[in-house]
């Protein structure tokens, strides 16, 4: 028995309440309804729908409800407003793909949406009053449902776990968000600031997971507009630091993972000041209670200097010839590559541990010299991979000044080379105004591998004298015929007898 | 075929099926048995040394070098072949099928032969032969057997030391092969099971004990237990320097209390031996005690509570008071001498009779070991 019948082109009224022809002559209600047997089919539907286009216009009217049938079975119904049959066609196509059935209606009664057999849609055959919050009529059945509970779309998004990228994306969605455990925050801010990376930071107070926790958990968030690829690889490998990219203004998904639902399709799901962090392992952090964002530069350490007395000006007498000393002054931050590094004595232990993680090219290019107060390292590249010590820039051929500083007055490098002409075969390191420059002969620098690897003494193993493996145990095997050994033995003994 | 030809055939099967796998591991099969009457044939038969003999000699030599340095191995000699033949009889008697009534005659005949072989075995003539006999016995003791039990809905099948025919486990679902139990039994366990099967035959277990004692007199010396009895016959093996060191190493594997009690017991027993044997035992005991003292960190007073242990300690303390024994034991480093002094200080708590007995034994015994 059919519960719906195809609509003919000249039909003027429908038994289904709220059904009407749209501009193309297709019977359609004010709402669309997709019914899925399980929630995971619904998730597939939203994943496909968000990939196909924006959900922004549908989100306002979107309603996900759990439906309970008279037989106490549960299904998932997705309601949304339908302005035209174009949108309904697109959604119905995706729903069929995800295993759902599409209906249209206005209030309580929904009828099967059009398909190839009935291009104009369907209407119910007779108006049967079934008890329930929702009655759907299909070609092969009619079914009444009660509304069980409502699931908001944002709740669904938060509950879906990100999955690893199938392929490595060519580029990341900026801005990137870095979540840092409190202990690592000062070191990371210092590292990013020294590398002239612009960004801002905020503090997130998270509620305690348990009443037994002494205090709320805190997390620092750093948002950067750009980050070189080597930084991304480095920070991803640091425990306690997580990197997130931004598929939507509110969403931050851990790098290397993607959310099942294309989050860029729903840009206004959360307020713009909220950050939702999706960890690859499934943890979701909704950051509402963020402190105000502050620039990274404002959080970097400052140095105090002694107050200098004002210079007394005199007038009337001719100025004698004067000499002013060169000084190191802080320059405006600008991205530059360091070419030398000084590691003080108190950071040597960290440096020794870091040596195990340096790339092989670093060992080939870096040269190192030992001084009483620490190690001096010089290299054309690779030296910025070492995150300890103080970086130096090279001025001219062999003068090194700290990164982020410049010489005042700004004399050119040729003049500097002239000043240091007697230190031709040396590398001159000028660390601060308080201390005179230090000159280290070039021959005191040795390749890194030659200087740090002590020795490798292989143990000689004489394979001839080493003990052989223990032999397998002997296993007793009785003869197939128990009398066989005796029969054969008898011949010998009889002959002897 | 002549009796020589038959003997050659059976001998080669004894070596290749039984002896070689016994020494190097693998499946040990029961060769055709040699009747005890062949013993005379063995002595008269001068067989050429074959490739298999050389392989056996090499395997034995490698194992012997783990115990003591031997220049050569006396394989094949009539008494060693007799030992191998005895062991093949002992292995044959363990067949569980021989307990069936229809194999009673066969079992009785082989059982009688085994006893005759054991009676025929002469004592070892040299240290090399004694060591080889000990190695043969040690390999025989290492024998294991795979016992498989298969249970189907019709019956339970036992395949003890035999392969399972393919048709027993074929179509397991249709024939409801319910479970398969695969056990690996040691020789001691196999002998115990077999002795339960042949309860009506007296002396089955004692056959194996006698055979083991006749085959290797060194067995109890190289695997010492607190129950060891060192009679004069066994004490004579202590006269060989290398063999004594091997026995000494075996003694030192015992824990401290067992070692001291055993040494005390055998030394006290040795007081009734004639002089050469008594000197061997006392010298051996002092040598082991000295090595134990050098290896131990600090002797504890609790180790010398028993009479035998305190006798040992008194023997070691008093040996330094006799010039002939002092020279024999040699000088000690200051650290080791402290241990001896520590023992001497402890000797105040031991019975006076024990100390006097030790002193008397040392005084009336001259150091041995040339």
In chain A, which residues have their Cβ closer than 8 Å to the Cβ of B98?
Answer: 482
- Based on the domain organization, do A145 and A276 belong to the same domain? no
A224: tokens are 């950067």
**Cβ separation of A479 and B41 shorter than 8 Å?**
no
Q: Which chain A residues in 15-44 lie under 8 Å from chain B, judged by CB atoms?
A: none
Residue A438 lies in a domain: yes
Residue among A35, A240, A246 nearest A147 (CA) = A35
Q: Is A401 left (phi over 0), alpha (psi -120 to 50) or beta?
A: beta
Whether the Cβ atoms of residue A136 and residue A65 lie closer than 8 Å to each other = no
d(CA B184, CA B190): 10
On whether both A122 and A202 belong to a single domain, the answer is: no
Task: Provide the pLDDT for residue B282.
Answer: 87
Listed residue (B96, B110, B90, B102) closest to B196, CA to CA: B96
Biggest alpha carbon–alpha carbon distance for chain A: 149
Say which of A471, A476, A495 has its CB closest to residue B3.
A495
Residue B75, SS3 per DSSP: coil
pLDDT at residue B164, rounded to an integer: 86
**A252 and A178 in a common domain:** yes
Q: At A77, is the secondary structure helix, strand, or coil?
A: strand
Chain A nearest-CA residue for B97: A482
Query: For A90-94, A101-105, A453-457, B41-45, which range has the lowest pLDDT when averaged over its residues?
Result: A453-457
Question: If you measure CA to CA, which chain B residue comes closest to A467?
Answer: B66
ipTM of the complex: 0.82
Average pLDDT over residues A241-246: 90
B159 vs A contacts (CB less than 8 Å): none
Residues A291, A179 within the same domain: yes
A477 touches chain B (CB under 8 A): yes
**Which residues of chain A neighbour B162 with C-beta distances below 8 Å?**
477-478, 480
Which of A130, A156, A182 terminates a domain? The answer is A156
CA distance A497 to chain B (A): 8
A258 strand-pairing partners: A163
- Whole-angstrom CA distances from A470 to A474, B24, B272 are 12, 9, 44
Three-class secondary structure of residue A145 per DSSP = strand
CB contact, 8 Å: A496 with chain B? Answer: yes
Contact partners, residue B124, CB within 8 Å, separation at least 6 = B79, B130, B133, B217
Q: In the block, which residue shows the tokens 């059919």?
A: A2
Confirm whether A161 is domain-assigned: no
Question: A418 and A286, same structural domain?
Answer: no
Indicate yes or no: CB of B106 within 8 angstroms of CB of A484: no
Q: Are A416 and A399 in contact (CB under 8 A)?
A: yes
Residue A469 contacts B, CB cutoff 8 Å: no
Please list, in sequence order, all residues whose beta carbon lies within 8 angstroms of the beta carbon of residue B279, skipping any fewer than 6 positions away: B365, B366, B367, B368
Give the single-character DSSP code of A282.
Answer: S
pLDDT at A466 exceeding the cut of 70: no
Residue A264 lies in a domain: yes
Q: Residue A345 domain-assigned?
A: yes
Element (H, E) at B209: helix B204-215
| DSSP character at residue B237 | G
Name which of B28, B88, B103 is nearest A474 (Cβ-Cβ): B28
Residue numbers in A near B29 (CB within 8 A): 477, 479
Q: Which residues of A touch B31 (CB under 8 A)?
A: 485
Instruction: Dump the DSSP string for B118-166.
Output: HHHPPPPSSHHHHHHHHHHHHHHHT-EEEEEEEE-SS-EEEEESSPPPG
pLDDT band at residue A256 under the 50/70/90 scheme: confident
Instruction: Show the CA angle centred on residue A101, arms to residues A97 and A106, nearest 5°.
Output: 130
Q: Are residues A373 and A261 part of one domain?
A: no
Cα-Cα end-to-end distance for chain A: 105
Neighbours of A116 (CB within 10 A): 5
Do B162 and A485 make contact, defined as CB atoms within 8 angstroms? no
Whether chain B has a CB inside 8 Å of the CB on A471: the answer is: yes
Assign A490 a pLDDT band (cuts: 50, 70, 90). Answer: very low
> Which residues from chain B sit within 8 angstroms of residue A469, using beta carbons?
none
Helix A484-496 and helix B78-92, axial crossing angle in degrees, nearest 10: 140
Same domain, A152 and A15: yes
Q: Which of A268, A229, A223 is nearest to A248 (CA)?
A: A268
Q: Is the pLDDT of residue A493 over 60?
A: no
Q: Evaluate whether residue A253 is within a structural domain.
A: yes
A464 in a structural domain:
no
Whose tokens are 């019914």? That residue is A35
Are A23 and A86 in the same domain? yes
For residue B87, what pLDDT is reported?
94
Contact at CB, B160 and A490, closer than 8 angstroms: no
Return residues 120-139 of B near A (CB < 8 Å). Answer: 139
Is 70 exceeded by the pLDDT of residue A455? no
Residue A476 and residue B162: Cβ atoms within 8 Å? no
β B26-29/A474-477 pair status = parallel
Beta strand A109-112 with A134-137 is parallel
Residue A298's contacts (CB-CB under 8 Å, 6 or more residues apart) are none
Residues of A in contact with B110 (CB under 8 A): 486
pLDDT of residue A494: 42
Range 173-202 of B in CB contact (< 8 A) with A: 190
pLDDT band at A385 (very low <50, low <70, confident <90, very high): confident
Are residues A267 and A172 in contact, defined by beta-carbon separation less than 8 angstroms?
A: no
Mean pLDDT of all residues in chain A? 82
* Same domain membership, residue A140 and residue A189: no
Helix (H, G, I), strand (E, B) or coil at B262: helix
Distance from CA of A467 to the nearest CA of B (A): 11
Q: Which of A464, A473, A489 to mutate to test the interface with B (most CBs of B within 10 A)?
A: A489
Query: Comparing B370 with A213, which gets the higher pLDDT?
Result: A213
C-beta neighbour count of A80 within 10 angstroms: 20
Length of chain A: 497
pLDDT in the model for residue A316: 55
- Work out whether the CA dihedral A37, A38, A43, A48 comes out positive or negative: negative
Residues A110 and A12 in one domain: yes
pLDDT, tens only, A168-212: 666 777 788 999 988 888 888 888 888 888 888 988 887 766 767
**Using the beta-carbon criterion (under 8 Å), do B22 and A475 form an inter-chain contact?**
no
Mark A434-456 as b/e (b = at least 16 C-beta within 10 Å): eeeebbbeeeebeebeeeeeeee
Q: State the DSSP code for A471.
A: P
Domain that holds residue A348: 327-452
* Prior bond of A462 cis (ω within 30°): no
The CA-to-CA distance between both ends of chain B, in Å, stands at 53
Beta-sheet pairing, A390-395 with A340-344: antiparallel
Side-chain-side CA neighbours of residue A493 (13 Å): 16
Is residue B328 within 8 angstroms of chain A, CB to CB?
A: no
Query: Of A297, A376, A374, nearest to A330 (Cα)?
Result: A297
Does the distance separating the beta carbons of A497 and B91 come in below 8 Å? no
Distance CA A91, CA A132 (A): 26
Predicted pLDDT at A36: 93
Average pLDDT over residues A46-51: 89
pLDDT at A462 over 50: yes
Residue of A nearest to B4 (CA): A492
Last residue of a domain, one of A156, A185, A220: A156
Residues 6 or more apart whose CB falls under 8 angstroms from that of B88 comprise A485, B14, B18, B30, B31, B33, B34
pLDDT tens track for B322-364: 888 887 777 888 888 888 888 888 877 778 888 888 888 888 8
One-character DSSP codes across A217-246: EEEEEEEES---HHHHHHHHTSTTEEEEE-
- Name the nearest CA neighbour of A365 among A444, A448, A428: A448
What's the CA gap between A192 and A188, in Å, rounded? Answer: 6
Any domain includes A42:
yes
Tell me which of B3, B19, B44 to substitute to probe the interface with A (most A C-beta atoms closer than 10 Å): B3
Same domain, A13 and A96: yes
CB A280 within 8 A of CB A164: yes
Tally of structural domains, chain A: 3
> Could you say which residues from 16 to 55 on chain B have a Cβ atom under 8 Å away from some Cβ of chain A?
21-38, 41
Using a CB–CB cutoff of 8 Å, tell me whether A495 touches chain B.
yes
Residues A60-93: tens digit of each pLDDT:
889 999 999 888 889 999 999 988 888 899 999 9
Co-location of A255 and A370 in the same domain: no
**A476 to B144: CB separation less than 8 angstroms, yes or no:** yes
**pLDDT of amino acid B192:** 92
List the domain boundaries for chain B. 3-141+197-215, 144-187, 219-363
CB B198 within 8 A of CB B99: yes
Cα three-residue angle A272-A278-A283, rounded to 5 degrees:
130
**pLDDT, one tens digit for every residue, chain B (370 residues):** 456 677 788 888 899 999 999 998 899 999 998 888 888 777 766 667 788 888 899 889 988 988 888 888 888 888 899 999 999 999 999 999 988 888 888 999 999 999 999 998 999 989 999 999 999 999 999 999 999 888 888 888 888 888 888 888 888 888 788 777 788 899 999 999 999 988 888 888 899 999 999 999 999 899 999 888 888 888 888 888 888 889 999 998 988 888 888 988 888 888 888 878 888 888 888 888 888 888 887 777 777 778 888 888 888 888 888 888 887 777 888 888 888 888 888 877 778 888 888 888 888 887 765 4
How far is it, in rounded angstroms, from Cα A247 to Cα A258? 9
Instruction: Enumerate residues 74 to 93 of chain B having a beta carbon within 8 A of any beta carbon in chain A.
Output: 88, 91-92
Which of B95, B158, B164 should be substituted to probe chain A, the one whose Cβ sees the most A Cβ atoms within 10 Å?
A: B95
Q: What is the pLDDT of residue A491?
A: 46
Angle, alpha carbons A372-A376-A380 (nearest 5°): 170
Residue A221 lies in a domain: yes
- Determine the residue among A470, A486, A488, A491 to mutate to test chain B binding: the one whose Cβ has the most chain B Cβ atoms within 10 Å: A486
Residues of A in contact with B91 (CB under 8 A): 476
Q: Say how many CB pairs under 8 Å bridge A and B.
A: 104
């Amino acid at each position: 028995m059919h519960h719906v019948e195809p609509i003919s082109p000249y039909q003027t009224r429908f038994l289904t309440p709220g059904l009407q022809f749209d501009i193309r002559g297709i019977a359609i209600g004010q709402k669309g309804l997709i019914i899925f047997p399980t929630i995971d089919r619904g998730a597939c539907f939203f994943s496909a729908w968000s990939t196909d286009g924006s959900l922004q216009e549908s989100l306002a009217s979107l309603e996900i409800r759990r439906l309970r049938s008279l037989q106490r079975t549960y299904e998932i119904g997705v309601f949304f407003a339908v302005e035209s049959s174009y949108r309904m066609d697109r959604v119905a196509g995706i729903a069929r793909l995800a295993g759902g059935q599409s209906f249209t209606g206005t209030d309580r009664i929904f009828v099967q949406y059009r398909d190839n057999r009935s291009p104009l849609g369907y209407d119910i055959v007779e108006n049967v009053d079934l008890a329930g919050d929702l009655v759907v009529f299909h070609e092969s059945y009619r079914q009444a449902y009660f509304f069980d509970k409502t699931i908001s779309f944002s709740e669904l998004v938060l509950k879906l776990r990100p999955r690893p990228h199938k392929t490595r994306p060519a580029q990341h969605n900026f801005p990137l968000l870095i979540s840092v455990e409190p202990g690592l925050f000062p070191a990371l801010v210092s590292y990013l600031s020294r590398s002239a990376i612009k960004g801002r930071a905020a503090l997130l107070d998270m509620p305690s997971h348990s009443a037994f926790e002494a205090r709320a958990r805190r997390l620092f968030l750093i948002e950067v507009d750009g980050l070189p690829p080597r930084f991304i690889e480095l920070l991803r490998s640091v425990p306690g630091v997580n990197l997130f990219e931004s598929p939507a203004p509110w969403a931050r998904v851990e790098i290397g993972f993607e959310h099942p639902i294309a989050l860029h399709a729903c840009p206004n799901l959360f307020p713009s000041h909220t950050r939702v962090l999706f960890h690859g392992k499934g943890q979701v952090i909704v950051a509402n209670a963020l402190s105000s964002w502050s620039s990274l530069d404002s959080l970097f350490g400052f140095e105090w200097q002694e107050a200098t007395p004002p210079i007394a000006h005199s007038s009337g007498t001719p100025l004698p010839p004067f000499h002013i000393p060169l000084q190191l002054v802080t320059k405006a931050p600008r991205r530059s590559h360091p070419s030398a590094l000084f590691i003080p004595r108190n950071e040597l232990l960290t440096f020794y541990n870091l040596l195990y993680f340096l790339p092989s090219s670093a060992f080939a290019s870096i040269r190192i010299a030992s001084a009483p107060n620490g190690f001096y390292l010089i290299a054309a590249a690779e030296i910025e991979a070492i995150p300890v010590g103080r970086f130096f820039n090279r001025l001219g051929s062999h003068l090194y000044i700290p990164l982020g500083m410049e010489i005042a007055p700004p004399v050119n490098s040729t003049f500097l080379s002239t000043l240091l002409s007697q230190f031709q075969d040396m590398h001159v390191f000028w660390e601060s105004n308080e201390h005179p420059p230090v000159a280290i002969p070039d021959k005191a620098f040795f390749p890194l591998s030659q200087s740090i690897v002590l020795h490798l003494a292989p143990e000689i193993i004489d394979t001839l004298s080493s003990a052989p493996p223990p032999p397998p145990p002997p296993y007793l095997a009785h003869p197939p015929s128990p009398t066989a050994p005796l029969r054969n033995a008898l011949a010998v003994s009889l002959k002897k007898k | 075929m002549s009796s020589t030809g038959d003997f050659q055939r059976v001998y080669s099967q004894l070596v290749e099926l039984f002896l070689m796998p016994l020494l190097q591991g693998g499946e040990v099969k029961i060769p055709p048995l040699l009747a005890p009457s062949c013993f005379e044939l063995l002595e008269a038969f001068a067989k050429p040394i074959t490739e298999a003999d050389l392989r056996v000699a090499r395997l034995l030599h490698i194992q012997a070098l783990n115990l003591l340095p031997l220049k050569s191995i006396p394989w094949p000699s009539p008494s060693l072949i007799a030992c191998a033949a005895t062991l093949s009889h002992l292995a044959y008697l363990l067949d569980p099928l021989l307990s069936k009534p229809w194999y009673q005659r066969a079992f009785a005949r082989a059982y009688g032969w085994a006893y005759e072989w054991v009676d025929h075995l002469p004592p070892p003539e040299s240290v090399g032969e004694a060591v080889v006999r000990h190695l043969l016995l040690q390999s025989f003791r290492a024998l294991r057997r795979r016992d498989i039990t298969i249970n189907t809905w019709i019956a339970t099948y036992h395949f003890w030391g035999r392969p399972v025919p393919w048709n027993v486990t074929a179509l397991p679902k249709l024939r409801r092969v319910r479970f398969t139990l695969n056990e690996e039994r040691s020789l001691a366990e196999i002998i115990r099971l077999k002795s339960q099967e042949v309860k009506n035959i007296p002396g089955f277990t004692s056959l194996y004990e006698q055979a083991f004692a006749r085959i290797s007199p060194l067995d109890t010396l190289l695997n010492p237990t607190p129950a060891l009895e060192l009679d004069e016959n066994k004490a004579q093996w202590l006269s060989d320097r290398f063999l004594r060191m091997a026995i000494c190493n075996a003694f030192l594997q015992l824990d401290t209390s067992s070692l001291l009690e055993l040494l005390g017991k055998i030394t006290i027993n040795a007081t009734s031996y004639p002089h050469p044997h008594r000197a061997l035992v006392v010298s051996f005991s002092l040598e082991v005690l000295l090595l134990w003292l050098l290896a131990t960190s600090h002797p504890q007073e609790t180790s010398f509570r028993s009479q035998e242990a305190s006798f040992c300690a008194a023997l070691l303390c008093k040996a330094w008071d006799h010039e002939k024994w002092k020279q024999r034991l040699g000088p000690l480093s200051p650290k080791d001498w402290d241990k001896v002094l520590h023992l001497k200080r402890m000797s105040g708590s031991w019975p006076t009779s024990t100390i006097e007995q030790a002193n008397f034994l040392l005084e009336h015994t001259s150091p041995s070991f040339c």
